[in-house]
Amino acid sequence: MGCCQHSIKEVEFTDPGIKKEKKEVEFTDPGIKKETPLENAPIFDVHMNDRFLLSLNDQSSNPSLEIKEVPKEIPEPVVEQAQPKVMSKFMSGLLAAKAKVKEEPVEVVEAVKEEPVEVVKSVKATEDAEVVEAVKAAEEVEAVKEKSEASSEKPLLKGSLKFFGGLVKSTIEKSTIIVKEQIENVEKGTEYVVKQVEDAEIAENLKQIADDAIVNSECVVREGVKRSATIIQEQVAIIKEGLQETINAIKDLGIKKRVTDIIYPMLKKFFVHSITCDIEKKYTIHEILGTGGFSTVKRVIDKITGIERAAKIFVKNSMTEKQTDILMKEVDALKAVDHPNIIQVVEIVEDFSKICLITEICSGGELFDRIASTEGFDESMAASIMYQILSGLIHVHQNGYIHGDMKPENILFIGKDCTSLKIIDFGVSKSIKKEEKQVNCIGTAYYIAPESLEGVVTNKSDIWSCGVILYMMLCGMPPFNGRNDEEILKKVRRGIFDFSHKRWKNVSKNAKDLIQKMLNKDPERRFSASEAWNHSWVQSSVTKENQLGELGSSVLKHLAAFRANTRLQQATFSYIASSMTTSNEIDELRKAFIILDTDGNGHLSELELRRGFSNISLSASVKLEDILKSCDSDMNGQIDYSEFITAAIDWHKHLSKEILENTFKAYDKDDSGSISITELREFLGGDDDKMDEFWKQLLEDADSNGDGVIDLQEFKELMLRKENS
C-alpha cells in the first residue's frame, strides 16, 4: 500500500472473459556454455561425411594417399555388444565410409572421381556454413546504420543513444554466441574424427578445414564489432553537437549558465533523503496507525526536532521481488509529484532488515470513516472535498502517472476538525507514458472502472473511482452494490446506476450531472480530471472560500521579498521548509497556494501570480520576473508548491537558533562539528565527480576562514545574512 495509515484490503480481480495461454518457456543463461554432444552437433555433422569421402578418395588433392589391395580373406572383427542409442547422420556416415574403404576401396575412389564437382560444392557449402549467422548479424548492424543515416532528425536525447547502443550490443552478443557455439561444435567434431580416422593425413585435412572456418568466423565478428563501434561514435557526436547548439543559441549569459547547470545533476526543489541507519536511532516509534499488504504504518517522532511523522515499515526478508518493485515505484511516483493535496515523503531510512518510508502524518482519519458516520454530506462539503481530490489528480496525471487505487480509505484528513486532505497510497500507481494491457487488475471492487476489468488502465480510470466516491458522499451508498465481489463486478461491467433512492431527492441536478459524466462507461466520453474540476458544481460551491484575506497579502509580501544569494542557502531553506515544519505551521501558506492556483494543476504561472498580486497594494512595486528568478529553483518557468512554501515562510521568525542548530546536525553526519565537502555533496544528493568544482564553490560561499569546512558559526552567518530576509 502507499502511505496508508489504516487497514486496507486489496483484492486481485481476474477477468473470466480473458483466456490465459499457458506456455512453458525454457530460460537459458547466455553466459553459461552448454556442452553439445557430438552426435547432436548441428553444423558439423551435416557435411562432414562428404568431406571425409572427398579427402579419402580424391587422390589429386591428396596424392600421398595410396590404395593398397585388400587381402581376400579379412578376419571378421570382434564386435562388443553396445547399448542401443540413436546415431547421428555424421556418425552413421563416418562408420559407413570406413567400412567402404576396407571392403571396396577401388569402387569408392571411382565413384568420387565420377562426381568431383558435386563433392567440391559440398565442401564449399560446409566451409561457409559456420559464418552465415555472423554475416547476418553484421548485415543487421549495417542496416541499422543506413537507417540512422537516412533520418533527417538528430537525436538530442541521451535516451536515444542508450537505446541504440543496447540494440547494437544485443545484436553483437547474439552473433558472438552463435559463432562460439559453432566453433565449439567444429572443434569437438574435429577432435573426434582425429581419434577415429586411421589415416593421419585425412584427419589433418579435416582439422585444417575446421581451423579455417573458425578464423573466418572470428574475422566476421570482429568486423561487426568494429562497424557497431563506429556507429555509436557517430551517434555520440550528433548528440554532443545538438547539445552544444542548444546552449550556443541562448544569448543571455546568465540564462546560459543556468541551462548548463540543468544539464548536469543539480539541487532538488525539495528533499527525499535516503539514510542508512536504524530507525530507532533517529525516531521514537509509537503505536500502529494501520497495516497494508506487506507493511505496517506507525506513528514516530523525530528525536532531534520533535516533529510527528508516519513511518511505513517494510521488513526486507518478508518481501518478494514483486513487492520490492512496488515499493520502488511508489517512491518514484511520490518523488515526481509536489502538490498540497498529495502526501509528502520526508525521507527513507534503511538498515540491514527494514526499509522505512517516512512521510508527513495525517491525524484526521479517513474519508471512509466520515462517510460511514453520516447518511450523506451536504453538497458544499462534498464539493470542497472533490475540489481538492480532483486538483491532486490533475497534478498526478500531468506528471505522467495514474494513481490506480482511488478510494475513501486512501484519502486522509490533515486534522480532526478540518477538511484539508491528502491523497495517499501510490503503491499500485502506473506511468501513463507507456500504455500496456494487463490481465490481472488490482483494486477494490466498488471503485474499479469497467475498462480496468478488461485489462486497460488509463487516467480516466481514476475519474471513474472519484465518481463512485462522490456518489457515496452524497447518499451514503455505493452506486454498484452486491452481496459479494462477483455481483458487484457484474454491475460495474454493465455500468448502469440510478438516483432512485429517497436520499437523492434533495440533491441538485448539477451534482447529478457531474456524477453521470464521471461515471460514463465509455472512457473516451468520460470527464478528465481537469474537466471535472472545472465543472460549475465544483467551482460554484467553493467560490466563497477562494478569497485572499489579510493573511494572504502577508504571504505574498514574503514571497516577493524572498532572496537566496547562494545555492547552499536555497537548498537549506528548502530542507527546513519540507523537513522541519509541521502541516499546522504551513496551513495558511497551503491555503494561499490553493487560492492562487486557479487552474488546479499544482503550479503557479506568471499569469496566476499577476492576478494574485493585483489585489494587494504591493502590486505596483513587484517585478514578477524577479520573483520567478528567486523562487523557481528548478527553473521550469513556474513556482511549484514546495518552492512557494519555501519562499513564503516568514524566515525572520522561523530561523530560530534551535532550527539552525538542528539543520546543521542534519548536514554533519559524522558529528565532527563541521560540514565537509563530502557531507555537503551527500546531503544535497550529488554523486557526479564532474561537479567537484561546483561543490567546492558551494562550500567556499560559507567557509569564511578558508579551512575547507563549514563550522556552526559560519553556517549561522550564511543563513542569517540580511540580504536573505
User: What residues act catalytically?
Assistant: 405
Q: Which residue has the cell 549467422?
A: 133
651 contact partners, CB below 8 Å, separation of at least 6: 558, 562, 573, 724, 725
H helices of 519-623, in order, are 529-533, 536-542, 550-561, 567-579, 587-596, 606-613
- Rounded to the nearest angstrom, the gap between the alpha carbon of residue 572 and the centroid of all alpha carbons in its chain is 28
Cα distances (angstroms) measured from residue 403 to each of 34, 139, 173, 347, 393:
46, 45, 39, 21, 8
Q: What span, in angstroms and rounded, lies between the C-alpha atoms of 647 and 638?
A: 13
Residue 674's DSSP bridge partners are: 711
- Whether 424 contacts 2, CB under 8 Å: yes
Furthest CA-CA distance within the chain? 126
Cα dihedral sign for 232, 233, 234, 236? positive
Query: Which of 3, 9, 12 lies closest to 426, judged by CA?
Result: 3
Determine the Cα–Cα distance for residues 332 and 329; give it in Å rounded to an integer.
5
Give Cα separations from 165 to 145, 223, 225, 231 (angstroms). 12, 17, 12, 9
Q: What is the 3-class SS of 681-697, one letter each residue?
A: HHHCCCCCHHHHHHHHH
The enclosing H or E element of 345 equals strand 345-350
Query: Hey, is 460 helix, strand or coil?
Result: helix
Contact criterion met (CB below 8 Å) for 345 and 649? no
DSSP class of residue 403? -
Query: 312 among the known binding-site residues?
Result: yes
The Cα-based distances of 684 to 168, 342, 448 in angstroms read: 36, 23, 40
Q: Is residue 345 packed enough to be buried (19+ CB in 10 Å), middle (13-18) or exposed (0-12)?
A: buried
Nearest in space to 593 (alpha carbons), one of 392, 382, 458, 348: 392
Contact at 8 Å (CB) between 50 and 97? no
Cα distances from 489 to residues 402, 405, 452, 498, in angstroms, run 21, 16, 11, 17
CA 474 to chain centre: 38
Tell me, rounded to whole angstroms, the distance of Cα 616 from its chain centroid.
44
Question: How many Å apart are CA 161 and CA 232, to the nearest integer?
Answer: 8
Binding site residue list:
312
Point out the annotated binding site for ATP.
312
